[in-house]
Structure 1
Amino acid sequence: MSALPSALAVPATVRVAADPRSKFLLVLVANVMLMSAGSTRVLWLVLVVVVVLALLDLRVRVAVTLVAVNSLLWVLSELPRVWHHGAAVAVGLLVYWLLRFGLSIALGTWFVATTRVSELTAAMNAMRLPRFLTIPLAVLFRFLPVVIDEAHGVVEAMSLRGYTGSYLWRHPVDGLEKLVVPVLTACARTADELSAAALIRGLGVSARPTVVDRPRFRVADAVLVALVAGLVAYRFWGVWS
């Protein structure tokens, strides 16, 4: 089976060693806050959280990229305040949503990159979730990084053959075809490999599997839960005040 992409592989040392349930709670609440009305009040707080988590746990290149992109979007979102022009308003409106989606993607990247499939499965079993939810989530959680890795490999192969840069601008449909077809073929092969691996690991058995590393509440979980409570309190304090 294809190896997990180096950019999204779980690091040997994860500084925020929290339960997947606590991390998922943070991602869920932050996304709800970002996409809700009046989210500007908590936007900079979520940005700070994303920067800290990325610098703590993600690979240096991934962390720097996420921090740089979201910081640039933050600066552009403030453009209408200093330049009172229609173009600035249009850019600010576009970046308004791009920044929120960018922060959501950054949090999702951190969640995927710091959570092993075995930890996620153990946490979902501890919550007594039905197997028709546990199995698809576990497979999807393992499948998405592999798809990203396959797409990265196809892009590198295209660049070696000269199908990058101006070629993509001059022939976008042909370039998209050269990217999508190999990726879909690789995804079909990867899906077969994942299905075989899941059967070997007994993912579809009716009995509840034995958990080696049981999920437990730690200091990092307390910090994340307190952070979630702080985001909610700060958001609604602004509504009530």
Structure 2
Amino acid sequence: MTDTVSRPGPAASEAIRAEPHGSVARWTLDPRTTLALLLGANVVIMAPGGMRFVPATLIVGVLLALSERAWRRAVELPVAATTLAAAAYLLPSAAAWPVFGLIAVMAGYALRLVAVGGIAAYLIQTVPPTRFTAALRAALLPSALTVPAAVMLRFVPTVVAEARAVRDAMRLRGLGGWATMLRHPVRSVEYFTVPLMASSLRAAEDLSAAALLRGLGSQARPTSMRPPRFGFRDVVAGLVVAALGIVTLRWRPAR
């Protein structure tokens, strides 16, 4: 079985990105390296005392965005992190109100998600599903982990694309906007949720058919036309991450 893609139905065609034939050799990391960075960042940041690793994770996310030439994300990550950090640490000192304390707690948790989201966005934008599945197989992971990960990588962009289509359709009919949601919240949720669920079910059927045609879940081990390989870029990324980790562990705030 090769990496030839069988094009799914129209509901999922916009979300499933075909693997670029000429741009695979650009400055992108091996999918296993990116996945290891994402899992490692989740472990250290979500652990107790993991807030100290947020700056290092943000730096990694910005560097990955710059390597991908995603200039907008490279600017949005530090701006969003600075805003959330100000809400988490400066807002409670402004006034001792319980509402400010609740907002600070939520902003602190959102700050961790934003830091990890920079690496996750790089993984989604640079790793097509075919390369991601090949990388998971090369890492000798069982099918119980490979198949759900491949399906989720394809299905999540499909749901996002369908949600945008439903939102645009609601706006064309004058049902969108914050004013309408505030006046008729239940009706707005109903108008948005029902079409999204129907289109997502159709997209899931298309993705299931495409997965069966590609042999996903078969007993035979498929081969890849471009097997994943570690390179110089992965070594550089590992050295940068190791240096940031050492600096974070050895840094002590001035008292």
TM-score (norm 1): 0.84
* Alignment RMSD: 2.8
Asked if the contact 2:65–2:74 (Cα under 8 Å) also holds between the matched residues in 1, the reply is yes
Q: Please, which of 151, 174, 194 is the counterpart of residue 139 of structure 1?
A: 151
Determine the C-alpha separation between the residues in 1 that align with 2:39 and 2:172: 40
Asked if the contact 2:166–2:192 (Cα under 8 Å) also holds between the matched residues in 1, the reply is yes
Asked if the contact 2:58–2:77 (Cα under 8 Å) also holds between the matched residues in 1, the reply is no
Q: Displacement, 1:67? A: 4.7
Alignment pair present for 1:75 and 2:86: yes
Aligned position for 1:195? 208
Determine the C-alpha separation between the residues in 1 that align with 2:191 and 2:127: 32
User: Bigger shift: 229-238 or 121-130?
Assistant: 229-238
Pair 225,77 (structure 1): closer, same or farther in 2 beyond 3 Å: same
Q: Displacement, 1:98? A: 1.4
Alignment pair present for 1:85 and 2:85: no
* 1:51 maps to amino acid: V
Aligned position for 2:124? 112
Alignment pair present for 1:176 and 2:189: yes
Matches within 5 A, 1:221-240: 221-237=234-250
Matches within 5 A, 1:209-224: 209-224=222-237
* 2:86 maps to amino acid: V
Asked if the contact 1:20–1:123 (Cα under 8 Å) also holds between the matched residues in 2, the reply is yes
Pair 60,179 (structure 1): closer, same or farther in 2 beyond 3 Å: farther
Q: Please, which of 18, 23, 35 is the counterpart of residue 24 of structure 1?
A: 35
Aligned position for 2:44? 33
* 2:47 maps to amino acid: S
Aligned position for 2:162? 150
Pair 211,147 (structure 1): closer, same or farther in 2 beyond 3 Å: same
| Deviation sequence 1:187-232 (CA, Å, 0-9, x none) | 1111111111112222232111121111111122112222333344
Query: In the comparison of the two structures, how many residue pairs are matched?
Result: 237
Q: Displacement, 1:52? A: 2.8
Pair 186,162 (structure 1): closer, same or farther in 2 beyond 3 Å: same
* 2:225 maps to amino acid: V
Q: Displacement, 1:5? A: 4.1
Moved over 6 A (4+): 8-12
TM-score (norm 2): 0.80
Pair 63,167 (structure 1): closer, same or farther in 2 beyond 3 Å: farther
Q: Displacement, 1:238? A: 5.3
User: Bigger shift: 168-177 or 39-48?
Assistant: 39-48
Asked if the contact 2:42–2:116 (Cα under 8 Å) also holds between the matched residues in 1, the reply is yes
Asked if the contact 1:58–1:113 (Cα under 8 Å) also holds between the matched residues in 2, the reply is no
| Deviation sequence 1:117-174 (CA, Å, 0-9, x none) | 1111111111222222212211111111111110111111111112222111122221
Determine the C-alpha separation between the residues in 1 that align with 2:250 and 2:78: 28
Alignment pair present for 1:128 and 2:140: yes
Q: Please, which of 178, 182, 201 is the counterpart of residue 165 of structure 1?
A: 178
Determine the C-alpha separation between the residues in 2 that align with 1:117 and 1:64: 27
Asked if the contact 2:62–2:73 (Cα under 8 Å) also holds between the matched residues in 1, the reply is no
* 1:85 maps to amino acid: A
Q: Displacement, 1:50? A: 2.0
Asked if the contact 1:27–1:107 (Cα under 8 Å) also holds between the matched residues in 2, the reply is yes
Sequence identity of aligned pairs in percent? Answer: 35
Asked if the contact 2:15–2:154 (Cα under 8 Å) also holds between the matched residues in 1, the reply is no
